[in-house]
């Protein structure tokens, strides 16, 4: 490990950024030396959690005044492009929240700017780092069920996401863009890139602006057919929020990631082994968010370890472009009622 901690700044000090700050505070090797938010009240409120950090309401001024190693952007998507470009021009590494870009053209522009200025770009795509999801990915990659041919990644909940994130009720593109981007990313982490995709959407909750249910069928390039389905309109006695449930069928067995963090490994002879793959909840986490909060810590730990070894993150800008392309293709498919070939970098 480098002797001096990396100097980071958190930009956007709202609801989710507190998880990122607390995860940084749990990691040796990083100091969050500055906080930046364009809303002075939010900034003052948030600064209570990192009293030693400098505070800025303008990222450009912060980048001019401070020597930083990286910025961690936790603003809404509309602010990502200007902030990522500022970071690239300032020569600092960048971590940026999902959804990364408003359009694929913006995503390309940001990726190119970071490459041109030799700046590391990571998208904070944390769902593939959730402990149960990661255990499923690793068992599949280790070949325990042979070659996969079918998969399902399912996130169905009636959890009131609008209470802490009221903007989700107002956006005309809701569940595919906000949550589907995570679940589609899990499908890519499991089964690889996608040749064709078909999607149907619904709006069940009448008071929101966008779609709150979507079902996507994907033909992956390496031969897996997967169904990725997600809903915020599903009423269940034991709501699994925020768990993604996974099924994978392979030619030598099957994996089933069930609710309550149980991973079943079925072999070809009718035997099943059940593993406990529950996340270890950080001290600062709270129910029901702890699987997500732990994944923030894992993603940031992974980023730090890669950064110290000079390696790109698994969810680098180019990788995330290919996930975001699935989001765009899903909306296009739902509107046109046809199968779509997603863009690819
Ligand atoms: P929020 O509205 O609570 O916070 C965003 C903050 O950014 C606000 O305080 C706002 O004033 C600030 N901001 C906006 N533009 C800015 C700018 N140019 N410079 C400085 N500050 C600026 O939103 P949130 O719920 O915290 O979501 C933020 C991002 O995190 C979104 O992209 C959202 O999709 C994402 N998110 C990710 C996860 C996850 O699990 N990865 C979960 C929730 C939210
Ligand atoms: O993870 C997220 O992006 C959140 C939520 C889980 C509510 O969809 O917005």
Ligand 2 atom nearest to 168, measured from its CA:
9
CB-ligand 2 contact for 74 (6 Å cutoff): no
Q: How far apart are the first and last CA of the chain?
A: 33
Ligand 2 atom nearest to 179, measured from its CA:
8
pLDDT of residue 190: 98
Of 307, 77, 62, 340, residue with least CA distance to 196: 340
272-295 residue pLDDT tens? 999 999 999 999 999 999 999 999
Over residues 149-158, mean pLDDT: 98
Distance CA 306, CA 28 (A): 14
Q: Which residues pair with 340 in a beta bridge?
A: 197
CB-ligand 2 contact for 242 (6 Å cutoff): yes
pLDDT of 2 above 70: no
pLDDT of 333 above 90: yes
pLDDT of 171 above 90: yes
CB-ligand 2 contact for 176 (6 Å cutoff): no
Those residues whose C-beta lies under 8 Å from the C-beta of residue 31, and which sit 6 or more positions away, are 5, 6, 7, 8
Q: Which of 11, 14, 45, 290 to mutate to test ligand 1, by most ligand atoms within 8 A of the CB atom?
A: 14
pLDDT of residue 263: 98
183-224 residue pLDDT tens? 999 999 999 999 999 999 999 999 999 999 999 999 999 999
Over residues 100-118, mean pLDDT: 98
Over residues 79-102, mean pLDDT: 98
| DSSP assignment of 251-262 | TTEEEEEETTTE
Distance CA 72, CA 313 (A): 14
pLDDT of residue 186: 99
CB-ligand 2 contact for 107 (6 Å cutoff): no
Residue 345: strand, helix, or coil: coil
Pick among 3.30.70.270, 3.40.50.720, 3.30.70.20, 3.40.50.300: CATH of 6-124+299-314: 3.40.50.720
pLDDT of residue 160: 98
pLDDT of 21 above 70: yes
pLDDT of residue 76: 98
Whole-number Cα distances in Å, 279 to 132, 133, 159, 313: 7, 10, 20, 21
Distance CA 324, CA 107 (A): 9
Over residues 52-62, mean pLDDT: 98
Range 129-278+322-336 has CATH code 3.30.360.10? yes
Helix (H) or strand (E) holding 300: helix 290-309
- Looking at the chain, the domain(s) classified CATH 3.30.360.10 span 129-278+322-336
Could you tell me the distance, in angstroms and rounded to a whole number, from the CA of residue 112 to the centre of ligand 1? 23
pLDDT of 1 above 80: no
- Looking at the chain, the domain(s) classified CATH 3.40.50.720 span 6-124+299-314
> From the CB of residue 91, how many other CB atoms can be counted at a distance below 10 Å?
12
Mean pLDDT of the chain: 98
Could you tell me the distance, in angstroms and rounded to a whole number, from the CA of residue 234 to the centre of ligand 1? 26
pLDDT of residue 48: 98
Report percent pLDDT > 90 for the chain.
99
Decide: pTM greater than 0.85. Answer: yes
Residue identifier of the C-alpha nearest atom 9 of ligand 2: 178
Q: Which residues pair with 229 in a beta bridge?
A: 154, 215
pLDDT of residue 122: 98
Ligand 2 atom nearest to 241, measured from its CA:
6
Structure tokens at 175: 């569940």
pLDDT of residue 308: 96
pLDDT of residue 228: 99
**Strand ranges inside the chain, DSSP E:** 6-11, 30-36, 54-56, 70-73, 93-97, 121-124, 148-156, 194-202, 213-220, 225-231, 245-250, 253-258, 262-267, 272-276
Residue identifier of the C-alpha nearest atom 18 of ligand 1: 79
289-316 residue pLDDT tens? 999 999 999 999 999 999 999 999 999 9
Nearest-ligand number for the alpha carbon of 155 = 2
Distance CA 198, CA 175 (A): 16
Distance CA 161, CA 178 (A): 11
What's the pLDDT band for 19 if we cut at 50, 70, 90?
Answer: very high
232-247 residue pLDDT tens? 999 999 999 999 999 9
């Amino acid at each position: 490990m480098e002797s001096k901690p990396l100097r980071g700044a958190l930009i956007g000090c709202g609801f989710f950024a507190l998880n990122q700050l607390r995860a940084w505070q749990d990691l040796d090797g990083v100091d969050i030396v500055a906080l930046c938010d364009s809303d002075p009240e939010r900034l003052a409120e948030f600064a209570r959690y990192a009293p030693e950090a400098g505070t800025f309401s303008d990222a450009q001024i912060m980048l001019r005044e401070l020597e930083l190693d990286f910025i961690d952007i936790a603003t809404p998507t509309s602010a990502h492009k200007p902030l990522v470009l500022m970071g690239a021009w300032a020569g600092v590494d960048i971590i940026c929240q999902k959804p990364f870009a408003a359009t694929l053209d913006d995503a390309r522009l940001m990726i190119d700017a970071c490459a041109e200025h030799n700046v590391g770009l990571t998208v904070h795509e944390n769902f593939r780092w959730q402990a149960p999801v990661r255990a499923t990915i690793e068992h599949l990659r280790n070949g325990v069920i042979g070659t996969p041919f079918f998969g399902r990644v399912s996130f169905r909940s009636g959890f009131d996401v609008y209470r802490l994130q009221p903007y989700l009720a107002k956006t005309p593109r809701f569940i595919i863009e906000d949550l589907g981007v995570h679940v589609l990313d899990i499908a890519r982490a499991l089964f690889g890139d996608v040749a064709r995709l078909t999607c149907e959407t619904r709006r069940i909750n009448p008071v929101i602006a966008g779609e709150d249910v979507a079902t996507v069928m994907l033909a992956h390039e390496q031969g897996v057919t997967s169904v990725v389905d997600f809903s915020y309109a599903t009423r269940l006695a034991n709501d699994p929020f925020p768990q993604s449930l996974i099924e994978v069928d392979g030619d030598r067995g099957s994996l089933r990631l069930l609710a309550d963090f149980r991973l079943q490994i079925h072999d070809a002879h009718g035997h099943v082994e059940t593993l406990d793959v529950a996340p270890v909840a950080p001290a600062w986490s709270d129910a029901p968010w702890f699987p997500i909060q732990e994944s923030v810590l894992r993603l940031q730990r992974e980023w730090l370890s890669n950064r110290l070894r000079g390696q790109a993150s698994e969810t680098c800008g180019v990788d995330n472009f290919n996930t975001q392309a699935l989001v765009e293709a899903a909306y296009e498919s739902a509107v046109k009622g046809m199968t779509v070939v997603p863009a690819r970098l």
